[in-house]
Amino acid sequence: MPILFIIDPPQSLHLEKDSTLALMKEATKQNHEVFFCLQHDLYMEDLQLFCRAYRFDLAIFPDHAKAYETYSISFFKALFMRKDPPVDQAYLHTTYLLDIAEKSNVKVFNKPSSIRSWNEKISILQFDTLIPKTLVTANPEIIKKFFKKHGDIILKPLDGMGGKNIFRVSEFEKNLNVILEIMTSHGHQMIMAQQYIPEIKLGDKRIIIIEGKPFPYALARIPMEGETRGNLASGGQGVAQSLSERDLEVASLVGKKLLTEGLHFVGIDVIGNYLTEINVTSPTGIVELFEQTKQNPAELIINAIR
């Protein structure tokens, strides 16, 4: 079965830990034909969607044959959109083209329209009983009131990833005004504020959900000493843990809903008892989970194509 992966530039991938590469390797192991391309390799001509793609060869990856081949998108039976955020204009334009791929009977992971509608930060608001106290606004004065009420908060941009530009603001913070000026672009850019969850010290748990069902282990990303963020990209240590009863409750409720939206492979973040993010673009962590548990999420994900 031919499968296409839309990826970041191959030379930018961290090959030892990259989840996209793990999926490509697993698809090859299962005797699928695996191809990859970048966003700009998609194009429309005469009302048909085409792709300039490279055949995946693990022996030489991230290098690849210099000559691409052009395929009608209908040649592929499945397609994985694995471009990392931000979900900017180029990303959105790609999802519009992938709507057309779906009409060509290509199974797209994840559903393009749902990627657009399920912002990875804001979408948690659809699960109000599962989340910490949360605010979304561009107004610095409203954020200051939220801070005064809760005393210890986290500030996040709505389109970031990997822990970038996330701030913890506690009672001793003297730079709140300038932080808010920068993050909200002087009151014109919405951000998220959340009540600080002390259990972050025990790990920011990434739970993989495949076809609506949670993988039985979470990757608890434990912050470095003196750090608030547990993200691996921010220096956190990933430790596989069996899901707690609360983890299962949260993941099952969220997973059931997401599957109805065509979101087949997602990663949710849970701190303590609270859902904090829903990752629908390019969830990661499957390599670390496989290494530590010997159970392979990539195998389950590729099996879901059938």
DSSP per residue, 216-271? EEEEEEEPPTT-S---GGGTPEEEEEEPPHHHHHHHHHHHHHHHHTT--EEEEEEE
Partners of 155 in beta bridges:
167, 193
Enter the DSSP assignment of 44: E
Contact present, 255 and 279 (Cβ < 8 Å) = no
Is 279 annotated in the active site? yes
Q: 110, 231, 279, 296: which is the annotated catalytic residue?
A: 279
Is 149 annotated in the active site? no
What CA–CA distance (Å, rounded) separates 16 from 13?
9
Q: 206, 288, 296, 299: which is the annotated catalytic residue?
A: 206
Parallel/antiparallel/unpaired status of strands 48-55 and 33-37: antiparallel
Helix (H) or strand (E) holding 25: helix 19-29
Is 52 annotated in the active site? no
Q: 229, 231, 247, 288: which is the annotated catalytic residue?
A: 229
Q: 18, 269, 288, 299: which is the annotated catalytic residue?
A: 269
Q: 156, 204, 205, 288: which is the annotated catalytic residue?
A: 156
Is 83 annotated in the active site? no
What is the largest distance, in Å, between two alpha-carbon atoms of the chain?
A: 61
Is 173 annotated in the active site? no
What CA–CA distance (Å, rounded) separates 75 from 2?
7
Q: 83, 221, 247, 299: which is the annotated catalytic residue?
A: 221
Helices 140-150 and 176-183, axial angle in degrees (round to 10): 130
Contact present, 36 and 16 (Cβ < 8 Å) = no
Q: 82, 111, 121, 205: which is the annotated catalytic residue?
A: 121
Is 277 annotated in the active site? yes
Contact present, 164 and 127 (Cβ < 8 Å) = no
Is 31 annotated in the active site? no
Q: 26, 159, 247, 277: which is the annotated catalytic residue?
A: 277
Is 181 annotated in the active site? no
Q: Which residues are catalytic?
A: 121, 156, 206, 221, 229, 269, 277, 279
